[in-house]
Structure 1
Amino acid sequence: MTDDKKITVTRTIDASAADIFEVLSLPARHVELDGSGFVQSVDHGDRITATGQKFTMNMSGDHMGGDYQTDNHVTGYDKDHLLAWETAPAGTEPPGWQWVWELVPQGPDSTEVRHTYDWSKVTDKELLKKVSFPLVKESDLEDTLGKLASAVTGS
């Protein structure tokens, strides 16, 4: 589903919510999951265990002139059900876009995974002139779900 300020993709993965959450909550795994190609490596990131945590990623993209870092501020955490964070250029406060993962068990070994990229809270007019949202396409998010499925099922 896409609207003018948010993209959500959904996929049912043949794995438990706990197994999927185990992968998502470890920032070091995000490189292998990223369908956009922007994420290069984790700079600092312990396992996510609560809201208020921050993890830093090494990124690369033409929209930022090459290599850069992001600080990701965890805003949503419900073990095995929800992970969310707002992203900002390293050392700055989040300007209003966030990533949300929602896990809905469909049985012991099946989980509906919803992944949302939401930039609806971006209000900085200069940023909106500089950055053409969405930076990440729906197909990139779908690729991310495919990579997540492979990471947790081994296929």
Structure 2
Amino acid sequence: MNDDHAVIDGRTVTASTVVAAPPAEVFALLANPHRHHEFDGSGTVRGATSGPQRLALGDRFGMDMKITLPYRITNRVVEFEQDRLIGWCHPAKAIWRYELEPVDGGTRITETFDYAGSPVAWGIELFGMQKGNAKSIRDTLRRLVTIFGAPA
């Protein structure tokens, strides 16, 4: 793992790693909601209930989730640049963003949880959820390294 810690800065939580795969290959996984459970480090994503096989800007997709109790959530793709950037949010308006940058030997993946625009940001902070998201981001990035391998 390239950066072994997540940085909490204002109302964003960010961490990065480098994997041994080209951006297009990483993007293909991130843009398929039916595979999100494969790399989710939070342990809350159970599987997609709706949505296309390949996401595009404005697409909606439903996910089966579980935090103590099972529930469903609908997300919408709000940021999209083929093979470089994808971000989605649910009704609380927090964005989960993945930025991809080609580097020697693979791709730098930067994951960000951005809750600056969320009307419930105060609750996220009150309950310390940003700290839990920092751990989940680190665990997600570790899973992506397991999937794609680390550069030599």
Find the aligned partners of 1:144 and 1:60 in 2 and give their Cα distance: 16
Matching of residues 80-119 of structure 1 within 5 Å: 80-87=83-90, 94-107=91-104, 109-119=105-115
Matching of residues 33-112 of structure 1 within 5 Å: 33-62=39-68, 66-87=69-90, 94-107=91-104, 109-112=105-108
AA partner of residue 68 (structure 1): Y
Query: Hey, which bits of structure 1, 4+ residues long, moved more than 4 A?
Result: 124-132
Q: Which runs of 5+ in 2 are unaligned?
A: 1-6
Change (3 A) 1:149 1:97: same
Identity %: 27
RMSD: 2.3
Change (3 A) 1:79 1:145: same
TM-score normalised by structure 1 residue count: 0.82
Find the aligned partners of 1:110 and 1:125 in 2 and give their Cα distance: 35
Q: Which runs of 5+ in 1 are unaligned?
A: 88-93
How many residues get paired? 144
- Verify the 8 A CA contact 2:16 2:111 in the aligned structure 1: yes
Q: Deviations over 1:106-132 (max 9, x none)?
A: 14x411100001111122489669865
